[in-house]
A = this chain, B = another copy of it.
């Protein structure tokens, strides 16, 4: 029996519907929840994500304001733009595409972004909130999308062994914390882990966020099967001319209890989390 496929679409739609209701309630109070997109240059990845985000915002009744700067914008103009968005009371959330070009100080940008508008969880305030589970700030959208996907399909991390592959600050590390706050026993694997398959074989839930295309096959799973796999990776496969995840989907489908596809899995939920965070920020601004 092949595993259940954890499609992101239905989870994203359910979230978007809920956000739309809350946005409508805010509009009745005279508040238009608004996202500002701050983008420097025209990177393909950024543009693709932006298109998805704008579409989701439209569906939910969240306004979008774009601040698009040329790739060679001066640092001064960049920071003036960011500060203006910080101060603009009609803007509730700011999506600042990163990494920024090398001539703009990314660490300074992270510290400049107003924490209460940090809807993609990159400021210290948000990251501390993820670490402490204080409820302050916002988790990075991709990490939160992992939890939302599991929730939608009724997979409760409580008491489960979860292994997260990758320790990046945008995905692996925050996803591990969010799983721990949901009472999973979490192990974080990374490039210095001698044998990742040894660790994943013992897991009930495997979250792959290593970004190594099609690197995870059946050798990472236990023979008895029954494991849940969430694939956060997304890479362009030149040979196959399509997007692929970290996991060799077709090779593990039989053995897994459930697996999220790429594309159409975690990635599809990410923009719905972003929209939810903008509505959260607008509600908090009341």
Contact = CB atoms under 8 A, between A and B. Distances in A.
Interface stretch (A19-27, A122-130, A226-234, A274-282): A122-130
B185 A187 contact: yes
A70 interface: no
Nearest to A111: B136
A187 B190 contact: no
Interface string A188-228: 11101110000100100000000000000000000000000
A207 to B, nearest CB: 14
Interface in A119-164: 124-125, 127-132, 136, 158-159
Oligomer copy total = 2
A81 interface: no
A180 interface: yes
A211 to B, nearest CB: 18
Contact of A131 (B131, B185, B194, B199): B131
Given A131-B131, A180-B167, A187-B186, A158 B192 contact: yes
A173 interface: yes
A199 to B, nearest CB: 7
Interface residues of A, number: 28
Interface string A233-275: 0000000000000000000000000000000000000000000
16 contacts: A124-B124, A124-B125, A127-B131, A127-B132, A128-B131, A131-B177, A132-B169, A159-B194, A180-B188, A183-B190, A183-B192, A185-B188, A185-B190, A185-B192, A185-B199, A202-B202
Nearest to A189: B185
A202 to B, nearest CB: 8
A258 to B, nearest CB: 20
